[in-house]
Amino acid sequence: MRTIRLGRTELIVTKNAFGALPIQRLSMDQAAALLKKAYDLGVRFFDTAHAYTDSEEKIGLAFENVPRQSVVLATKSGALDPAVLRKEVEMSLAHMKTDYIDILQLHNPAFVPQEDHPAYQELLKLKAEGKIRHIGLTNHQLKNAVEAVNSGLYETIQFP
């Protein structure tokens, strides 16, 4: 599979990623089998969100015996309150059975949090603690996505 450097990170990922939203509809065993099949076929980048019901747990089950450095795990949080954001990151770590998240993305905020915003400051703390490696943002509004890129604060931007 072809690989690319992802955003402003040093991560080299497969050009085709696995978006985990649909695995909510599968049983734990079906989802784990599908995720393992994708991995066996060469997919190494898996994207989910804390809000995708049990998808993080399914990822944790699928990859609990896979060398952690062989997969890139991205997840999202819609929380802008620092305490809630930290709690969601801690839950995501536990669900995915990992000690770090490769990319934590703020999920479709109505505005682009700048460096002085409490949520962004919390992301910097989580990064310094090694719980997340990179800070990203998802957005469905072109204006916000462009603002995030121009801010230089986000290492990845996910835009539909």
Positions marked catalytic: 52
Rounded to a whole number of angstroms, the distance between the first and last alpha carbons of the chain is 22
List residues bridging with 135 in a β-sheet.
104
Segment holding 5, helix H or strand E = strand 3-5
Angle at alpha carbon of residue 90, lines to 69 and 119, rounded to 5°: 105
Tokens of 92: 């995501």
- Cα dist from 84 to 20, 25, 89, whole Å: 22, 26, 9
Nearest Cα to Cα of residue 111 among 86, 75, 147 = 147
DSSP letter, residue 7 = T
